[in-house]
Amino acid sequence: MSLIHLSVWDLALASGLVLLLAALSWRLHLGVERQVLIAALRSTVQLMLIGLVLKQLFAQTHLALIGLMVLVMLSVASWEVRSRQKHCYRGMWGYGIGALSLFVSSFSVTLLALMVIIRVNPWYQPQYMIPLLGMMLGNTMSGVAIALDHLTRQAREARGCIEARLLLGATWEEAITGIRRDALRSGLIPIVNAMAAAGLVSLPGMMTGQILAGSPPLEAAKYQLLIMFLISAGTGLGTVAAVWIGSQRLFDERQRLRLDRLA
């Protein structure tokens, strides 16, 4: 099997389908045609750009350049976590909690994969590192965002119950424990579902890509498994870190519930 190159014409044909969708939306007064077109345009520009950047990056294996790329990925991911919160933390915390937990989880798991499992040499070889880290960040980001959103929403709704427990002499950890558990669970459900449905309902995106690009299916499946395990570990770690820091930030040194720290 060999890789079949896509021509501009092939892509134009596929994009025609998106135009059709936009036309349909306009005809049926769904009002999403603008968003569809803008999103399609954005993804075109972003992916072409990243293709160009990666081409340069792969050709050089320069640590500083890779570091810069990684930094950009991390900041965009933390920004995304923040913007998905209905009531995000005020000040630097809104950004910082996401950034810190993403950093700790995605980086440690990616490093482990590169140095111990795949054993790339040098470990920062971008052809392995950037896609791996991208997958990790993308998935961990969703887990962290969902869990934090759940935590802050629930804390606002259950203010009376939390304070009632504090008033009866509970510590802040006792008062928030149920909400914290729910938040963790909600952050982990997507990846657990994805693992359970993998292969039966849908072929995961990465595996599909590898097969289309000519890899033997069994090799593709093995890589997919590796990624899934890494992603669940990373998501778990990141979600735990975010909920831990986030719930601590909800209380102050006198163990008062500080909802004024949320926007």
Partner 1 sequence: MAGLRLEGLSTALLRDVHLTLAAGERLFLSGASGSGKSLLLRAIADLDPHRGEVWLDDIPRSRLPPPEWRRRVGLLPSESYWWAKTVGEHWPASTTHLKPERLLNMLGFDTDVCGWPITRLSTGERQRLALARLLLNQPQALLLDEATAHLDPVNRSRVETVLEDYGNICNAALLWVSHDPEQRARLGGRRLVIRKNRLEPEI
> Of 42 and 90, which has the nearer Cβ to partner 1?
90
> Of 80 and 163, which has the nearer Cβ to partner 1?
163
Binds partner 1 by CB under 8 A, chosen from 167, 200, 201, 218? 167
255 binds partner 1 (CB under 8 A): yes
Binds partner 1 by CB under 8 A, chosen from 59, 92, 116, 168? 168
248 binds partner 1 (CB under 8 A): no
Neighbour count for residue 92 (Cβ, 10 Å): 9
Minimum CB–partner distance for residue 94 and partner 1 (Å): 20
Q: Between helices 63-83 and 92-102, what is the axis angle to 10°?
A: 130
How far apart are alpha carbons 151 and 222 in whole angstroms? Answer: 35
Q: Which stretch binds partner 1 (CB under 8 A): 46-54, 134-142, 182-190, 255-263?
A: 255-263
Adjacent-strand bridge partners of 202: 198
Minimum CB–partner distance for residue 62 and partner 1 (Å): 50
Burial class (CB in 10 A: 0-12, 13-18, 19+), 195: middle
Binds partner 1 by CB under 8 A, chosen from 125, 163, 190, 211? 163
Binds partner 1 by CB under 8 A, chosen from 96, 131, 138, 178? 178
How far apart are alpha carbons 130 and 128 in whole angstroms? Answer: 6
What is the token pair recorded at 125?
A: 């070889």
CA torsion sign for 18, 24, 27, 31 is: negative
Binds partner 1 by CB under 8 A, chosen from 82, 165, 180, 249? 165
Minimum CB–partner distance for residue 98 and partner 1 (Å): 26
181 binds partner 1 (CB under 8 A): no
164 binds partner 1 (CB under 8 A): yes
> Of 162 and 233, which has the nearer Cβ to partner 1?
162
> b/e for 102-133, b at 16 or more Cβ within 10 A?
bbbbbbebbeebbeeebebeeebebeebbebb
252 binds partner 1 (CB under 8 A): yes
Minimum CB–partner distance for residue 167 and partner 1 (Å): 5
Integer angstrom CA distances of residue 160 from 13, 89, 181, 245, 248: 57, 20, 18, 22, 18
119 binds partner 1 (CB under 8 A): no
How far apart are alpha carbons 225 and 221 in whole angstroms? Answer: 6
157 binds partner 1 (CB under 8 A): no
